[in-house]
Amino acid sequence: MSMTNHKRSRWLKRLLFSGVLGAAAYGGSWWMRLPEQAPEFQTAKVARGELAQAVTATGQLSPVVKVQVGSQISGIIQSLSSDFNSPVKAGQVLTQLDPATYQAIVHQAEGYLTSARASLELARVNYQRSQRLEENELVSQSEHDKALADLHQAEAAVKINESNLERARVDLARCTIYSPIDGIVISRNVDVGQTVAASLSAPTLFFIANDLTRMQIEAHVAEADIGRIEVAQDVNFTVDAFPERTFHGKVAQVRNAPTNEQYVVTYETIIEVSNRDAKLKPGMTANVSIVTARRDNAIKIPNAALRWRPPAAVVGKDPALTASAAGAASKKSSKKSEPGSKKDKRKSERTVYVLSVQTDPVSGATNSVPHPLVIKTGITDGNHTEVLEGLQEGQQVLTGMTAAEQSLPLPQMFSLLTGRKK
């Protein structure tokens, strides 16, 4: 009896184990089995439109003519006649230094000059007396020569004191600081009562811009891009203050002096900007895009089509399309330009993929598969690239693919779950 129960129990366990395996296999196949379908390709249409190639850089806005007004003498600011954003004319008083010290120096120089002139008169009278006495041989020749030397020395003393007086008057005049140009005060760096010390260098008191309706951008262009920059090229730029607006300008100058910062060589490029509405301020950072080439009616494709490559398993095996397309492109190229010409050198060959219908020789079923196509490209704006040869407007090029979904056969799944090889 016990032997029978033992056999029955063993068969029940086997039956239960088989049922669990079957349920697991069925559930696994339901969970892992996906509907079989062909891969879906993402395409883009070959379009025609405007295309511009540009070089990007950054720079600061500044007035075309800007003057730093300083002081050549030291003193205390007595009064201010101009403030921030004040319009000024050439010759207009900007500020006044305390002139008391320099006025005293002028008076002192005037006194020294008067004394020197009196000494000159005395020396001249002594010389004239000595000359009359020398004619009558009443004085020695040495005394006569000394009288003449004293006269010349007195004349020199007068000239020295005249120059000292002139210098003192110039310093006194510099106590009043004038605007050198017509313009607007951008910054004022002093206040009334402040002491200006000009012993070592001239301190900057005011910063005046000539005309804020005309400004310039001092852009720093990398050495890899400077070869494409030329005078009179169009420039588009934005500033952080008006991110939704695009401003325009033109390249005015490409300076030859290099700037090396942390082993990065750049060249300063001056861009003229019109600021009629006074929206742009000095010192703003401009994000510059210099247009180096433009096509108004170009055939273009997305750059994603140039980057995408399909898996080798889905590429068409029939090379007829590729060969014919490449041959047509080569034939067209030979007609347009001779080998070695400058126009031909500017063209670069790239490969894109297009869909073509392929028939299965066994089943007779047709499906669309990608085929490579060699094209020649022109300029690019970073998002789209010009197509010179190989594609026509309205064609579709591949830019991506959805992975094909596959199902796992049930015997293989059973082996995977049980660990047994089928």
Which of 285, 63, 67, 339 shows the shortest CA–CA distance to 178? 67
Q: What is the DSSP letter of 226?
A: G
Residue 330 burial (C-beta neighbours within 10 Å; 0-12, 13-18, 19+): middle
Of 194-203, 211-220, 361-370, the one with minimum mean pLDDT is: 361-370
Instruction: Evaluate the CA torsion angle 329, 335, 339, 345 in order and state its sign.
Output: negative
Structural domain includes residue 281: yes
Domain count of the fold of the chain: 3
Q: Tell me the mean pLDDT in the region 173-186.
A: 94
Evaluate whether residue 25 is within a structural domain: no
Q: Coil, strand or helix: which one is 113?
A: helix
pLDDT at residue 322, as a whole number: 44
167 and 239 both lie in a single domain: no
Count Cβ neighbours within 10 Å for each residue of 89-117 and write b for 16 or more, e otherwise. eeeeebbbbbbeebeebbeebeebbeebe
Q: Which residues pair with 264 in a beta bridge?
A: 261
Question: Are 253 and 181 contained in the same domain?
Answer: no
pTM above 0.85, yes or no: no
235 with 283, same domain: the answer is: yes
Is residue 339 scored above 90 in pLDDT? no
**pLDDT interval class at 340 (50, 70, 90):** very low
In a domain, 195, yes or no: no
6-15, 119-128, 225-234: least confidently modelled range: 6-15
> Do the domain assignments include residue 9?
no
Strands 176-178 and 75-80: unpaired
Distance (Å, rounded) from C-alpha 92 to C-alpha 179? 5
- Element spanning 208, H or E: strand 204-209
* Residues forming a β-bridge with 214: 274
From 190, 223, 244, the end of a domain falls on 190
Query: How confident is residue 145, by pLDDT bands cut at 50, 70 and 90?
Result: confident
Is residue 72 a contact partner of residue 174, using CB atoms and an 8 Å limit? yes
Quote the pLDDT of residue 135: 82
Per residue in 270-323, pLDDT (tens digit) is 999 999 998 999 999 999 999 999 999 999 999 999 999 988 877 765 444 444
Task: Tell me, yes or no, whether 320 and 385 share the same domain.
Answer: yes
Q: Which of 375, 223, 409 is nearest to 301 (CA)?
A: 375
User: Is residue 7 one of the residues assigned to a domain?
Assistant: no
Tokens for 44?
A: 């883009």
Q: What is residue 252's predicted lDDT score, i.e. its pLDDT?
A: 96
For 216-255, write each residue's pLDDT tens digit. Answer: 999 999 999 999 999 999 999 999 999 999 999 999 999 9
Residues 6+ apart with CB under 8 A from 358: 316, 317, 318, 366, 367, 368, 369
198 touches 60 (CB < 8 A): no
Q: Is residue 14 part of a domain?
A: no
- Which CATH number does the domain housing residue 292 bear? 2.40.30.170
Q: Cβ of 133: how many Cβ atoms within 10 Å?
A: 15
Instruction: Name the DSSP letter for residue 386.
Output: E
Q: How many CB atoms lie within 10 A of CB 185?
A: 19
Do residues 228 and 174 share a domain?
no
Cα angle at 237 between 231 and 239, to 5 degrees? 140
Which DSSP letter does residue 199 get? S
Per-residue pLDDT band for 155 (boundaries 50, 70, 90) equals very high
Q: In the chain, what percentage of residues exceed pLDDT 90?
A: 60
Query: Six-digit token pair at 281?
Result: 């301020």
Q: Identify the CA nearest to 106 among candidates 175, 174, 166, 177.
A: 166
What range does the domain containing 348 cover? 40-50+298-402
Residues 307 and 277 in one domain: no
Residue 202 belongs to some domain of the structure:
no
**302 and 289 in one domain?**
no
Q: What is the mean pLDDT of residues 1-5?
A: 53
CATH of the domain at 151: 1.10.287.470
| DSSP type of residue 181 | S
Q: Which of 36-40, 307-311, 356-360, 385-389 has the lowest mean pLDDT?
A: 36-40
Do 320 and 292 fall into the same domain? no
Evaluate whether residue 418 is within a structural domain. Answer: no
* Residue appearing with tokens 């080798």: 312
pLDDT digits (tens, 9 = 90+) for 48-93: 999 999 999 999 999 999 999 999 999 999 999 999 999 999 999 9
Higher-pLDDT residue of 306 and 347 is: 306
pLDDT (0 to 100) of residue 4: 58
Maximal C-alpha separation, the chain? 180
